[in-house]
Structure 1
Amino acid sequence: MSSHEKRAIVLFGHGARDPQWAEPMKRLQSILIGQLPTVQVELAFLELMAPSLPDTVDCMVQGGVQHIQVVPIFFGRGGHLKNDFPVIMAEMKQKHPGLDIQATSAVGQWDAVWQAIALEIVELSAKG
């Protein structure tokens, strides 16, 4: 991949009726924008909130993005990740055959995430 090709990251979450549910994802988006200034970082949701993942990808492709990394912000690997997500990814790959779109494992499968949470808990318990 050459440096002039447009890259993007999509933080993909479940969604909720309460708009405040997305605040942690917006915070992560803001951090990533600060650390990856040349990469477009957007949010997308499975249900209950907009935009959907296909709508976000469609907009990115229209904007000239050639490489998209989808990061599922899910802690448990339930039915949505096992069943719905692979179907959505396959449909997007079929719709945009020239697009390099990949997905990471869900953040809940990353050992570093659990190590960071454990470290915070240990530090909080030491203060208590």
Structure 2
Amino acid sequence: MTDTASPPGLLLFAHGARDPRWAEPFEALAARLRSRRPGLNVKLAFLELMAPDLPAAAAAMAAEGCSRIDVLPLFLGAGGHVRKDLPALVQRLQAEHPAVQFRLHPPIGEMPAVIDAMAEAAASLLP
């Protein structure tokens, strides 16, 4: 049973890169979400090359009282990391934090609203 008084958690999951500037758009997304939804516990985690990784971010959210954590892959499509690696990572998180309900979502790039926004942005470049 999920405690409705606990803060909801949204764990944004990105690939990671050696160049710290690569993460700036993802950090801006997390900041906008926090601003729009003040009661939402938003964390950004990375698969590799950057910190925190998914287990560390999830552990922090669990320690902060989140009883449900939605995991949103910040990928344009479902490649091998999203189809194979991420479900296995989320299963491990569920085993490590049995009091927390983890819900894995499809990659953000497959959401119709995101596809529409990208099409609009691309079209706006043209005369």
SS in structure 2 opposite 1:10?
A: strand
Q: Which amino acid aligns with 1:6?
A: P
TM-score by length of 2: 0.93
Q: Which ranges in structure 1 are unaligned for 5 or more consecutive residues?
A: none
Q: What is the CA distance between 1:2 and its match in structure 2?
A: 5.6
Distance in 2 separating the partners of 1:78 and 1:122? 26
Instruction: Find out whether 1:31 has 2:32 as its counterpart.
Output: yes
SS in structure 1 opposite 2:31?
A: helix
Mean Cα displacement is larger for which, 2-11 or 87-96? 2-11
Q: Which ranges in structure 2 are unaligned for 5 or more consecutive residues?
A: none
Alignment-derived partner of residue 92 in structure 1: 93
The superposition leaves residues 26-59 of structure 1 with CA deviations (integer Å, 9 ceiling, x where unpaired) of 1101110011100111100000101000111111
Alignment-derived partner of residue 71 in structure 2: 70
Instruction: Find out whether 1:40 has 2:56 as its counterpart.
Output: no
Residues 16-27 of structure 1: pairs in structure 2 closer than 5 A: 16-27=17-28
Runs of 4+ with >2 A deviation: none
TM-score by length of 1: 0.92
Aligned residue pairs, count:
126
SS in structure 2 opposite 1:65?
A: coil
Q: What is the CA distance between 1:76 and its match in structure 2?
A: 2.4
Q: What is the CA distance between 1:112 and its match in structure 2?
A: 1.3
Q: Which amino acid aligns with 1:19?
A: P
SS in structure 1 opposite 2:44?
A: strand
Alignment-derived partner of residue 80 in structure 1: 81
Mean Cα displacement is larger for which, 41-50 or 75-84? 75-84
CA RMSD of aligned residues (A): 1.2
Rg (Cα) greater in structure = 1
Alignment-derived partner of residue 12 in structure 1: 13
